[in-house]
Amino acid sequence: MATLIKRCSCEQTVWASCPHSWVVRYRGDGGRAGRQRERRFTDRREARDFLLKVEYDKRAGVFIDPADGRVRFQDYAQLWLDQRVIAERTVEGYESVLRVHINPAFGTKYLGVIRRSDIKNLVATMRRKGLSGSRIAAAHLVIHAVFNEAVRDKLLSESPCVDIELPVVSRRHDFIVPTRDQVEALAADLPGDWAATIWLMHGCGLRIGEALAVSLKCRIAGGQVLRVTEQVSPRARVVALKFRNRGDYRDIPLPRYVSEAIDKHVADHGTGRGVICSRGASSDSLSGAPIRRTSLTPPARSGCRLGSRRIRFVTCSPRPLWPRASLSPRSPDGSAIGAWR
């Protein structure tokens, strides 16, 4: 049972007129074994209403102690993230929006005092800064998930992240398909022992991490099929394929010109740790250490031209810089030969 008292030295008969605060004393979950809590009010009616709500919610089995919401958003968000079973790249994305956008806005606030208006203000601020719809959607996803977790953990009775209007996420429909000469130029602009990744991405539709994990044993069926079984993560570890479990694989038709590029690469640079593009036996790319950007050539940093457009290279440490172009399976002349994913 909750009780309404005053902690002043005044007689109980004059509590109604004395200026001191009213105190509602109650226990959290666990009955008599629960921790005793108190909450102060200047107005007797507010104190009485809170007392009645506590007793009603306890009888209904839906009581949420307001004191449990006194956890800082940034601390609880980090706990939520640490307990997630998700890919490393996804973790990095969530950490980024928390560090750059969410925590500066209300990371130091307690969960229980963050209002829907705070979240709407953050979305509006990100829009004024010219951030993309996908970036804003990523921030909203994290906030929504953190508050939903807090509700499930019974730290809050409801989430403030509801009915938040978000900008439309635009999708680009144009895609530049480079010619054979342009692909060769892209490969030539990377250090020689990375060049094979361009052909693997262009001819087989591999992701960057998948191209880095290709080994000679991936060629099966007489060299006509490439079996992709794993990828190198952004933190330079060999992990399962994206959206797959360890042991799963994907078979892709292997164009002859890609197979020839692999043979030439191995003849020129050898293999390290069994992986084609690992910079030889002394490579640190699979040992957990970041791949160093100092190994990149100036052309790879500045990009190169494909027709009238400049292709920029991806700058995502610890990976080296790779072009966004030519990620779909192509024939040597640049024409599409099927979606083999």
Q: Per-residue pLDDT tens for 174-196?
A: 667 778 888 888 888 777 778 88
> Do residues 329 and 338 make contact, with C-beta atoms less than 8 angstroms apart?
yes
> Do residues 236 and 291 make contact, with C-beta atoms less than 8 angstroms apart?
yes
The architecture that CATH gives domain 73-152 is Orthogonal Bundle (1.10)
Give the torsion through C-alpha atoms of 292, 199, 191, 317, to 10 deg: -20
* Angstrom distance (rounded) from CA 302 to CA 317: 16
* Angstrom distance (rounded) from CA 330 to CA 69: 55
180-323 and 73-152 share a CATH fold: no
pLDDT surpassing 70 at residue 199:
yes
Give the torsion through C-alpha atoms of 324, 327, 328, 330, to 10 deg: 100
149-187 as b/e, with b when 16 or more CB fall inside 10 Å? Answer: bbeeeebbeebbbeeeeeeeeeeeeeeeebbeebbebbb
Tell me the mean pLDDT in the region 93-98: 95
Reported in sequence order, the residue ranges of 86-222 that DSSP labels E, i.e. its strands, are: 219-220
Average pLDDT, the chain: 77
Instruction: List residues bridging with 26 in a β-sheet.
Output: 37
* Angstrom distance (rounded) from CA 1 to CA 55: 7
Tell me the mean pLDDT in the region 63-90: 86
Cis peptide before 290 (omega within 30 of 0): no
* Residue with the larger pLDDT of the pair 145 and 288: 145
How sure is the predictor about 29, in pLDDT bands with cuts at 50, 70 and 90? Answer: low
Exposed/middle/buried for residue 268 (C-beta within 10 Å: 0-12, 13-18, 19+)? exposed
> Strand, coil or helix: what is 8?
coil
Q: What is the structure's pLDDT at 175? A: 67
How sure is the predictor about 172, in pLDDT bands with cuts at 50, 70 and 90? Answer: low
DSSP secondary structure letter of residue 287: T
Q: What is the structure's pLDDT at 335? A: 42
Q: Where are the domains of the chain?
A: 3-63, 73-152, 180-323
pLDDT surpassing 50 at residue 150:
yes
* Angstrom distance (rounded) from CA 100 to CA 92: 12
Q: Which CATH class is domain 180-323?
A: mainly alpha
* Residue with the larger pLDDT of the pair 12 and 110: 110
Note the helical H segments in 17-107. Answer: 44-60, 73-82, 88-97, 103-106
* Residue with the larger pLDDT of the pair 113 and 87: 113
Backbone angles phi, psi at 336, to 5 degrees: -70, 140
DSSP secondary structure letter of residue 273: T
* Angstrom distance (rounded) from CA 173 to CA 192: 32
Q: Give the global pTM.
A: 0.61
